[in-house]
Every structure is written in C-alpha cells, then in structure tokens.
Amino acid sequence: MSDWSSTFWASTTGLFGEEDEVDTFDPDQQTRWDNKDSLIVVIDCSREMFEKTRGEIPFQLCIKCTVSVLKNKIISSDKDLIGLVFFGTDKSENPSDFKQVYVYQELDFPDANRILDLEKFLEDDSCDNFATRFGHNTGYSLNDVLWTCSNMFSKSSQKVGHKRIMLFTNNDNPHADNPSLQRQAKTKSRDLSEIGIEIDLMHMQPPNRAFDASLFYQDVIQLDEDECGILPDPAEMFEELLCRVQRKEYKKRPLATLPLTLADGIELGVSVYNLCRSATKSSYVNLDSHTNEEVKIHTKYICKDTGRELMPTDIKLYQMFGGEKVIFEKEEVTSMKTFGDPGLLLMGFKPRSSVKTYHHIRPAQFLYPNEKSVSGSTTLFSALLGRCIARDVVPICRFIPRRNSPPRFVALLPQEEEIDEHNNQVKPPGFHVIFLPFTDDLRRLKYEQTPKATTEQINKAKQVIKNLTSGFDSSNFENPSLQKHFKNLEALALDRDEPEELIDHTEPKTEAINRKAGEAIKQFKDVVFPDDYDPLGKPAATKRKAGTADGSAAKKGKAGVDVEIDMREEAQKGRLSKLTVPVLKDFVKQAGIKCGTKKADLVEAIKSHFGFS
C-alpha cells in the first residue's frame, strides 16, 4: 500500500479533488458550458443598406463586424459555430426554398477561408458585384428568415448549446404594408425565444431619418435582463457597431448559480460572474510526429508491486498519526472538506465605509439575480440592492462557492446601473463580491526611517498629478505582446505578406505630457533634485575605482565608500587573499595580467607580477 498510496493532503485533482463534481446550485449549468456556442449572422441586403451613410456603406460595416467576430472566435473559442445568412436578395439559396433568403455560409467552425471570402465584399467594386451576383428584392418575409435560422440550428451535425441570431439592418419597419407578415414574424420570434434561441438587433442609423424600434422590432427581439428593457440608440459609426457586436458576441457564462439566503425560508437565486479576466496565449497542442494529428492523453495508475491497473476504489489516502497510517475513504475525505451547502448566507450589514482598500486580497466577482433558479429573485434582489444603496451599507455574507470549498466571508458592494449617451449599458446593477481577509492575511510592515518631503515639494508633486490626471478606461489599452502574437498568427493563417501594423497604446504620449505638465514637472525637479541633476546621464561617481598597473586599487569600505589600497603592499604583506575577487579581477584587467578566474589563480598571478612568488 505504501507504494501507491499518498498522504492525506496530497494533490488528487481529477481523482478525488473538487474538480470531479459539478458543485453548483444549478446542476445543468456545467452541461451548458460544455456545449458549443452557435451564432448566425443575418444581414439585410436591401438597396438601402448599400447607400452611403456618413461616408460609409452599412452593408460593408456589417461584413467588417462579421470578420471581426470570426477572428475573435478563432482566437478565443474556435470550437464555436458561426453562420451567415443574407435576406432581401433577388436570388435564393436555402434548404426550404424560401424566397429572397440566401444562406451564404453554413453553421460551421470559423476558419481562414471564411474570412478571406468575406473580405472580398470590402473591395471598392463590391457593391456592383453584389448586385450582379445576388441582386436586391424587398419581397422577403422575415418569418422565412427566422425559419431558416431555426432549421440551421436544428440540422447542425454538431452538439449545439447556446443559440443566437445577430440581425443587422437599418430598416425599422419591414413589411410596413403587410400586417400579416409582421404578425408571422413576431409569432415566430416568440416561438424561437421559447426554445432558447435569442435574437439580438444590431440596428444602424438609416439615411435622413431616425430608427424607431417601436414600429416593429420592439416585439421581435428579446432584451437581456441586465439591459432593463432599454434598447441602445442605432449605431452611426463602425466603432459604435463593432463595440455593440463585441458586447453581444460573448455569452455571459456564470461561474456558479447559487442560493442567497436572507433568513430562514427566504432565499433567492443569484449567479456569480467574473467581470474581467486576464487574456492569455492559447496553450500548445500535442501532435503526432508522423500524422500531425492531435494526441489525446490518457492517465492510468499502475501498482508498482503487481503491475496491474488500479481503479479509483483501489486507491486509499492516509495520514501518519502516532507512527501509523490512518486510512481514509473517499467519502470520509469529502465529508471532512465539506463545510455546508454551496451558497451565500447573510450574516448582517456594515457601513460601506468599513470596506477598506487593503481588504482587496483577490479579484472581486459580481452577483446578479437568476430568475430561472428561484422565481421572484429579480424583484427581491432589486429591492435589496436599492435599500443598500439608499442606506449606504454592505451586506456581509458567508460564501461557499462549491461543495468542497472552505467558507469565506465576503462583503457585497452595491453598484447602480450606468448608461452612456447612446443608451449602452456601461455598468450593470448588482453587487461586487469583495473577499474579506482573515486575521492572518494582514500584517503590519515596519519601514525604515526615510527622508520626508517638504511642503513645497508635496505641492509641486500635487500640481504634476493634477495636470496629468484624466479619464482612464482599461479597455483602451491592449497587451502589445498578445496583440503581436495574434496578428502574426492571423497573417500566417490568411497568407498575408506581413502582419497588420500594431499600435502600442501603452507607450507614454510624451508630447501630450509635455504640453499639459511640462512646466509643472520642471518646477518639481527644481525643488527636489540638485542643479546638476541629469536623469539621462551616467552617475557622477563609479561604483569602484579601477585598479592601475602601478599597484593601486580600490575596494568598498563598510560604509559603502571607495577606499584606496596599495596592491603592491598587500602582495608584499601576504594579504591578497583577504581582498574580494572583483577587486582582484579589476587590478588584473587593468594591469594586463593573463590568468584564471579563481581567487587562488588571481592571487598567484598578482604575486608573480610584483615578483613576490
């Protein structure tokens, strides 16, 4: 048993660890994560979409966004599915033979060929070529378009999970002269919503008029719960449209869905999210050297004594106690690591001011209601959030994210919803989950006595900070190393001669800094540094004086000051071995003595140089 046993606290992830089980409040949550995300981009191809609006063609803006989605999918989740459908074309191409509906790309994995194919629509003569190849026709039925997308989802050979339709158009009232077609489209959209297919509207500003979603699309699309029923303004520029597409592109996947218990018998369903996470390069894949196919790794546990394969029931864990091995079963280990059911338990309330900056010991998470797990959760959550904001308090909860996780105490920091001038949600309403430290997580640091700045120096520093302070948004800065890596991969996959030019936004804007705070920085330097200070120049004094052939050298004293020494005298009195190797090497180098680098070789060479050997 000692040959294949492990100690009680040994790592057993994947065998007996907490990753073996799905320990969330919603048992179907992990199943949905394992399925592929599927997206169908639907583009309106009527003539109005090819008319220039503010210098850009709406159809080409849609193609640019689709290309961006394909590139992001290849990097972030190349196992997801994506398709492309045109409607409002004169020619038709779909399995159901619907008129004016053209399935341009079937629901499949994103790849480089699809991107290259779509980039042809961005050429200068693409509009004329599109009219010749596909044509334009307003006799389409939006009901047929939704039917086509539904059939593409159902007939996919892959296991499809989350299903979305992203609809691009600048026509706010299709079928305006045919109420029957409008009713059919609205009915079909409700049917798709019931079977879990979401419809997102990517609407653009039509020429010379406003986009009025209340005429038709308000009854067709389904707004997310966190959007509070507010439809953003139509996009006027490519940046606005791309920003909206990127927000809708990623599925909001919760880390866990748990109950929040307020009191005995009163609980609501909440989902825990990560608002942001670090972007990383994709991991390498093991390939067979002969076939270049991906190699799958299978792990087996073999008994050292008998050579037979061990099953999970054959493996025991033990803890040494009193010189003997105390054996534990898997169930016993699990019960010892279980501190309660997963969820949040309200312990009380504290003033918001009690949450300090130094309490931040790990990234915070975000709490949002989940109506599917407990009916009425959204209403109760909204009431709790509103009262916490009004009274300026934070709930303190015990948090157990998984069944085998130790409990942590967290503070729920309330956050109100923020919307920009285009009705795009900037901050969602909810609670930030702040993990509170335990006593041994904090310690007092003892600082050595350091010089203190004068009042004048502090005021000059404040002026520099004031002049350089501006609005900061982390989304405006990308990791240049990652972007260079992805652009090189993109150029390789798309067979480009060279990657796209990379703009490093992390580099300081020296011209803007000098313009805003150049004088303040100069005044700060004048009161802090000496007159002859040059930040770009070399230090006035070197670390060590170089040795010379006449027998002089330098070494550091105890106070860190260079001390002149007479190397001839040291050699004569036999004290060379007490000098450091760097001092000996410096003298040997200056004197042009050739010898080894060991201390004994250096000492003998210097003695020979002065004739004392």
Distance between CA atoms of residues 312 and 326, nearest Å? 18
Contact 139, 185 (CB under 8 A): no
- Residue 241 CB neighbours (<10 A): 24
Which residue's entry shows tokens 């860190």?
A: 560
The answer for 513, left when phi > 0, alpha when psi is -120 to 50, beta otherwise, is alpha
Question: Which residues contact residue 18 at a Cβ distance below 8 angstroms, ignoring those fewer than 6 apart?
Answer: 337, 402, 403, 404, 405
Q: Which residues are catalytic?
A: 32
CB atoms inside a 10 Å sphere around CB 534: 9
Q: What does the alpha-carbon distance between residue 433 and residue 505 come to, in Å, rounded to a whole number?
A: 31
3-state helix/strand/coil string of 520-560: HHHHHHHHHCCCCCCCCCCCCCCCCCCCCCCCEEEEECCCC
Amino acid at 288: D
Q: Please state, in angstroms and rounded to a whole number, the distance separating the CA atoms of residues 238 and 211.
A: 17
How open is the CA angle 209-213-214, to the nearest 5 degrees? 115
368 φ/ψ angles, rounded to the nearest 5 degrees = -140, 145
Most distant pair of Cα atoms in the chain: their distance: 113
DSSP states of 390-449:
HHTEEEEEEEE-STTSPPEEEEEEEE--EE-TTS-EEE-SEEEEEEPPPGGG--PPPPPP
Q: What is the DSSP letter of 48?
A: G
* CB-based contact 587:553 (threshold 8 Å): yes
Between CA 135 and CA 139 the distance in angstroms is: 12
Do residues 229 and 236 lie in contact, with contact meaning Cβ atoms separated by under 8 Å?
no
Distances (CA, A) of 327 to 1, 10, 302, 455: 10, 14, 20, 67
- The answer to whether the beta carbons of residues 136 and 89 sit under 8 Å apart is yes
Return d(Cα 309, Cα 300) in angstroms, integer.
Answer: 7
Under the phi-then-psi rule, with left for phi > 0, alpha for psi from -120 to 50, and beta for the rest, what region is 34?
Answer: alpha
How far apart (Å, rounded) are the C-alpha atoms in residues 271 and 277?
A: 17
DSSP string across 263-283? ETTEEEEEEEE-S-----PPP
Give the Cα separation of 605 and 597 in Å (integer): 10
Neighbours of 511 (CB within 10 A): 9
Cβ(134)–Cβ(183) below 8 Å:
no
313 torsion bin: left (phi>0), alpha (psi -120 to 50), beta (else): alpha
Helices 480-493 & 58-76 angle (0-180, nearest 10): 100
